[in-house]
Amino acid sequence: MAMPIRQSLRLGGYLMKQKLLRREKYPLLVELEPLFACNLKCGGCGKIQQPAALLKQRMPVEQAVGAIEESGAPMVSIAGGEPLMHPQIDEIVRQLLARNKIIFLCTNALLLPKHLHKFTPHRNFAWMVHIDGLRERHDESVRKAGGFDAAVAAIKQAKDAGFRVMTNTTFFTQDSPQDVIDVLDYLNDEVGVHNMQISPGYAYEKAPDQEHWLGVQQTRELFKKAFADGRRKRWRLNHSPVFLDFLEGKLDLKCTAWGIPSYSLLGWQRPCYLLDDGYVATYRELIEDTDWDSFGRGNDPRCANCMAHCGYEPTAVIATMGSLKETIRAAVT
């Protein structure tokens, strides 16, 4: 799974506990959005389309930590918006780490050099830097010249300071299998990030760019060709082998959006951060009052082309942990 063995054991223990408690739905990771404001206007993201008054708001530390404790999730992905624009983001991270949560802080890295001194390397903390292709492709995606060079420089600075650094790359119809290979080779071999995450572009309805979402067959063809000749085994991908099999069409999975719920200034988003069917105040309401079977490919037309990690990686992780064969395959991959 390319996840540190200690974190893998932690997740395995958590899943075993849910099974013993006979819980059918539980969070593996919470997408925490303590703000919607951002310093970029990326074509594939619509967070800054929120009303101006909402873009000025910042989630209080107590609210952010309380939501995570309420859910009981062992892992938290702090996103936004740009989290480093939150004046107390370092305090949110410290308090969650004190509660033994595994934290991924997602950032475009433009503000990272300015704020790096506020953080301390920790075994349960990693920077998750968005890199959407090599220089020209990335700068086009984030709509900022120099964005790629700034992000790579920040990654190297964070690594030199002793932090664990990961990347997240989204691919769209403009990307070829060779583009996938080139950026993953670069991040893996030249930049030397600790792990990489990948995702097909998903139809986020508020995104400015609505023309370049990948369909299911396009996604499968893209990754099948990119992963050919055993290449995926060379890369330090932070995904289960089952999810990677899913991306290239070797198997199909059912969406389990409840596995990665989203909490923001508006509350718990139903059913996931890609769809907006309203918000509820508590995690219990989200789980108990959402008709989860009505979502996913084949159930909701909005989900027809979705193969995003928020819905399908939880399915893959649960399948992996529930199979000795897949657990061994994940451990040796």
For 280-312, the pLDDT digits (tens) are: 999 999 999 999 999 988 888 888 888 888 889
213: confidence class by pLDDT, cuts 50, 70, 90? low
What is the pTM assigned to this prediction? 0.92
**222-244: average pLDDT:** 93
Mean pLDDT of the region 34-61:
86
Please, which residues have CB within 8 angstroms of residue 130's CB and are 6 or more apart in sequence? Answer: 106, 107, 108, 109, 142, 151, 167, 168, 169, 170
Tell me how many degrees the CA angle 198-170-252 measures, rounded to the nearest 5: 55
For residue 70, which phi and psi values (nearest 5 degrees)? -60, -40
Q: Which amino acid is at 172?
A: F
Rounded to an integer, what distance in angstroms lies between the CA atom of residue 15 and that of residue 22? 10
pLDDT of residue 135: 95
Cβ neighbourhood burial of 212 (10 Å; 0-12, 13-18, 19+): middle
Task: Report pLDDT digits (tens) over 142-190.
Answer: 889 999 999 999 999 999 999 999 999 999 888 999 999 999 999 999 9
Residue where the block lists tokens 């997408």: 31
